[in-house]
Structures are given as structure tokens and as C-alpha cells.
Chain A
Amino acid sequence: MSSAAPMQGRPILGWAIHDGLVVARRNLIQSIRVPESLFFSLVQPVIFVLLFAYVFGGAIPIPGDGATQEDAAAAYRNYLMPGIFGQTVAFAAAASTVGIAEDMRKGLIDRFRALPMSHGAVLTGRTFADAARQILVLAVLSITGLVVGWRITGGVLNAIYAYLLLLLFAYTVAWIGATIGLSMPNPETASTAGLAWLFPLTFLSNAFVPISSMPAWLQTFAAFNPVSTLVLATRELFGNPTGIQPDYWPLQNPVIYTVLACAVLITIFATLSVRKFGRTTSK
């Protein structure tokens, strides 16, 4: 055969990051090529905002806020938006699950595994791209929120922290989603399994109702649910009403608890999924 193919010099950040970016690029191109999928991933949370803002309106009282009926409705919208943000980034995990399962079905995972590339990169690239897509989703959601009366009153820097925390959480659940995707026999099962755990996770939290309104045994779960602390942290950072918190450490320190929970979850699921990736073959 003719002369060997010339190799690149080793990049400054190392091959694992280089490979991760190549894969992330591919996953981001995918979302542009399927505008329908991006469109619906934007429409669904917008519908949630409108439904909750106008249907549930003032029906869910936020303790400690709003004297009149109208005040209560406005307070709930401000209370609601961080809940929708939290729920939306959590549901981003499902895209990772289905995406990985589809790559396995198509034999792409096999092809990646037979390349002299960093194996973790296929997963870091996917989770990174899945989290990055949430930037657009959060932007559209924020605009919708502003239209229905949501306001940021906690300062610019705190608002930036809030968005960064949401993106960190999106990245975290993408790893959980990827791990589930690698364990599924086909994309159909993956799309069901990818969503199943997200409903209890997001609804057994303070996303839509105050934890103090739940039965005692549920309060404990909800208090330690990182979705709750994420939502509470963003409420505090955006300067939105938080309601009254039961006496649990995570709820007293929501930012620290959320960051710690994300770090622990990423460590666990990145380890699990990279190990699983090395053994998985096409279905």
C-alpha cells in the first residue's frame, strides 16, 4: 500500500479531550440536522410553563408569599419557573439514553470501539453535547418565563451561577442517561426506560409544590432529591420565592449539596458507563 497516513501532533489538552470534542461536534451536528427533534424539545417545556402558569395558577399556595389572589398567582409563576428549569434539564437525560441505544443498534459503538481512540470520549462527547443543547432550551424557557411574568431579582452574577448549576445538573443526568442507554437491548426499550425514572425524580421534588405540603415520609426523600436542591438553589439565586423549607441539611445548603451530589453522581456513572462501554457490543 502507498505511504502511511500522517498523524497529528499530540494536542495540548490530550487525546481524550480531542476525541471527546470530535464526538461532541458530531452530536451537535445531529441536532441541527433534525430540527424537528430540537423544536419539540423546546416546545414541551414551554407548554409546561403555560399549563402550570395558567391552569394551576394560584391553586398551589406558596406559604409566606402573596396576600391577595393576584399576588399569589404572580408568586406561583416566580416559584414555578425554577421548577420547570430543573425538570427540563433532568429530562435531558432521556436524549442521552436513546442516543446511545441508537448508536449501538447502528453498529456505531462497535466502530468507535475498534478505533485507536479514547473510549471514554464517545461518552464524554455525547454527554457534553447533550448538556450543551440545554443552553438553547434554557434560553427559550427563560424568554417564555419573562413573558408570563417571571422575574430575576437576585443579580446578574447569581443568575449566571443559577444557569451554570442547571447545566452542571444536565451534564450529570446525561451520564446517568448514557449508562441506562448502554444497558438497554434496543432503542425502543431505551426510550421507555430513559423516561421512567425521571417522572418520580422530578415530581417527588419541590419543582411544582412545596416540600412542606408533602407527607412526612415523602419529605425526607424530596429533601435529599438533588432535583429539589437544584430547584431551591436556582430559586434563591434568581431571587424567586422559595416557600418555607423543612429542616434538612440539603435544603439549608442547596448549592453545596447540589454540586456535591453532581460530583458524586458523575463519578459513579462515568465509571460505570465507561466500564460498560468497553464490554458492550451491538445488538
Chain B
Amino acid sequence: MADDQAVFAEGVVKRFGDVVALDGMDLTVERGQVVGLLGPNGAGKTTMVRILSTLLTPTEGVARVAGFDVVRQPDEVRRVIGLTGQYAAVDEYLTGRENLRMFGGLYHLESSYVKRRSQELLDSFELSEAADRPVRTYSGGMRRRLDLASSLIAKPSILFLDEPTTGLDPRSRLGMWAVIEGLVAEGTTVLLTTQYLEEADQLAQDIVVIDHGRVIAHGTAEALKDQIGGDRIEITVMNIAQAGAAAEVLRSLGNGAPLVEEAKVSAPVSGGSTVMISAIRALDSAGIEVTDLLLRRPTLDDVFMSLTGHAAEDEQQAQPKRGRKGKTS
């Protein structure tokens, strides 16, 4: 197997009872690459990361990290990876520094090195002032940064980030992005999962879109956006009965099938603001009253609508019952 592949997975299947969380996932991440795993809740993102980080064993298929088989060589895998999950998995009664010291000890690192490295991480993640306060007193963003710092104590060459910014306010999110970009610049291989197209776009060179535990699209952010038709025009009609007529208008203007959700009608378009003017004229002459009209960048919903024909939120039902098998988002 080629050692320059940080992650190699082929035909990975994971079943929890009757629920199929992963249904034949293929994934390759080259060394030094940043790959974003994009998908709605329940698509299988977390399950995939858990398999790659040895927390779950696949039902079928092969998965290797840095050339090591995740099932047969879990300890070798654990030595080269860092994992940051959806929760800030740090001890809240310990101080930031004590957490780093504990994790350094558990990685069996030299204690003088742990001391030096902790300070380095605390400084670069803007935690040095809070370093000797219990984590309980930290904000959500600070906890996430400490969580990430903890997974970097042993300088892992491959980093798994499972929804690193979910639940963070916009400012903390930007801070987290800056930290991740710094790691990437140093050459760390990153596999990150996210529900946000914007986040994948910002951080990842390569985006893998998954749904129902399978890869449904793969490419750069630009390629994916082109594939789903660029900008979208979205209107809200005053009278819901006119939604159908509005959809016909958009079909004549746009370059893709319109989507109707109650009073909201949207369609992919090209041509920027001139298409807005044409839309207003066409709607007016058709006698359709609108309460809102806007032109926007495609969202994850649009990606899903375009790729799968269903909205991203529907996927929540596919999540198995919360139980000891864990989450499969």
C-alpha cells in the first residue's frame, strides 16, 4: 500500500442492528491534503471518523490510516492521529495546562517536552492567560481550542476534526478556522466533517459529499458549486396558491429545475443582478405578488437538493436511536 496515503478506505459498511450508517464508503486522503466530509445529520460522517480513529470497527470493508489497518493495528493508528470530536472532550475540573499534561502523559511523551509543547499550544491558541484556570470557567470557543490543542500535543501527522465548529458562535468559528488553517500550513493532513458548505469551502481543498452512508459527489468546492448551478434566486409569494405559477416563471429564467417549499420558490440562475430585474418584470406581468425576493449563494440544502433530490433536514430521521452504539451523524 502506498504510504503517502494518509487515509484509505474501501467499501466500508457499518450497521447498527437494522440501521445502515455506512453503506460502502470509499475515501482517500493524500498526505498533506485537507479533505472535508460534507453531509447532513445522519449521513454517516461521524461513523466514518470513528472507524478511522479506531473507536468503531467496520462491519465490512477495509480502512487504513497511515498504512495501518484500523482493525488489526489500532495502537499504531492511535499513535499517528489526533481526534477532536463534536464535544470538547477535556476535563472541566482540571486547568487547561493540567489537561495538556494529562494527555501528554497518556501519549507517553517526555515530561519536559510536554511542558514546552503545552506552553507553545496555549500561546498559539490564545489560551495562555486562562492556562491555569479550571476549564469550567472557559467559554465554548476556548474549550474547543483546548480540545484541539489536546489532540495536537503529540504532533500527530493526521488530524480528524469531527464538526469542529458546531455550536460555536460566529466569532469563535472564525477563530477556530484560523487555527485549523495554521495547522494545514504546517503540513498536517486533515479530515474534517461538517454540515456547513461554507466551512468545507473555507478549509478544504477537496470535498466529499456523503448521504445515506455513501459518497454522492466528490471534488473541489468550485466544481461542486458549478455542478449545482451557482447562484440561486429565491422568492416568497404572498399567496401560496401562486407558488406553482411562480415556479413556471423561474423555470423560464433559470438554468435548472425550480424547487417549491410552501410559499418559497427557488431556482438556480446565472447572470447576477440582471436576472433579478427580469424576474421582477416577469412576475409582475404574470400578476404574482411577492413578499421577498433575493439572490443567494448555494447552501448545503441546494447541494443536497441538486444531488439527491431531497432536502438535507429529512436525513435526521435516518439517525438511529440514541443508544450505546453512539451517534452516526
Contact = CB atoms under 8 A, between A and B. Distances in A.
A108 interface: yes
B72 interface: no
Contacts of A111: 83, 85, 89, 103, 150-151
13 contacts: A1-B155, A5-B107, A8-B111, A18-B105, A26-B94, A29-B93, A30-B94, A106-B88, A117-B107, A117-B108, A281-B325, A282-B327, A283-B324
Interface of B: 50, 53-56, 75, 78-79, 81, 83, 85-94, 98, 102-103, 105-111, 113, 117, 134, 150-151, 153-155, 157, 186-188, 322-327
Q: Which of B55, B85, B151 has the most CB of A within 10 A?
A: B55
Interface residues on A, range: 35 or more
A22 interface: yes
A1 B187 contact: yes
Contacts of B109: 5-8
Interface of B is mostly: loop
A113 B106 CA distance: 11
A114 B94 CA distance: 20
Contacts of B117: 5
Interface of A: 1-2, 4-8, 15, 18-19, 22-23, 25-26, 29-30, 33-34, 106-108, 110-117, 121, 183, 185, 280-283
A281 B87 CA distance: 13
A184 to B, nearest CB: 9
Given A8-B111, A116-B78, A281 B94 contact: no
Contact of A113 (B54, B86, B90): B54
B155 A116 contact: no
Nearest to A103: B91
A26 B154 contact: no
A281 B56 contact: yes
B146 to A, nearest CB: 12
Shortest Cβ-Cβ A-B pairs, 8 listed? A281-B326, A107-B89, A107-B87, A116-B78, A33-B93, A111-B89, A22-B105, A30-B93
Q: Which of A18, A29, A185, A280 has the most CB of B within 10 A?
A: A29
B53 A26 contact: no
Nearest to B89: A107
B108 to A, nearest CB: 5
A224 to B, nearest CB: 32
Contacts of A185: 322-324
A18 B110 CA distance: 13
Given A6-B110, A111-B150, A283-B324, A1 B188 contact: yes
A37 B117 CA distance: 33
A189 to B, nearest CB: 12
A283 B89 CA distance: 13
Contacts of A282: 85, 87, 326-327
B108 A34 contact: no
A114 B91 contact: no
B133 to A, nearest CB: 11
Given A26-B102, A114-B83, A115-B103, A7 B110 contact: yes
Contacts of B105: 18-19, 22
Nearest to A9: B110
Q: Which of B50, B81, B94, B108 has the most CB of A within 10 A?
A: B108
Contact of B78 (A19, A23, A115): A115
A27 to B, nearest CB: 9
Given A6-B110, A19-B106, A116-B78, A283 B86 contact: no
Contacts of A116: 75, 78-79, 107-108
A283 B325 CA distance: 8
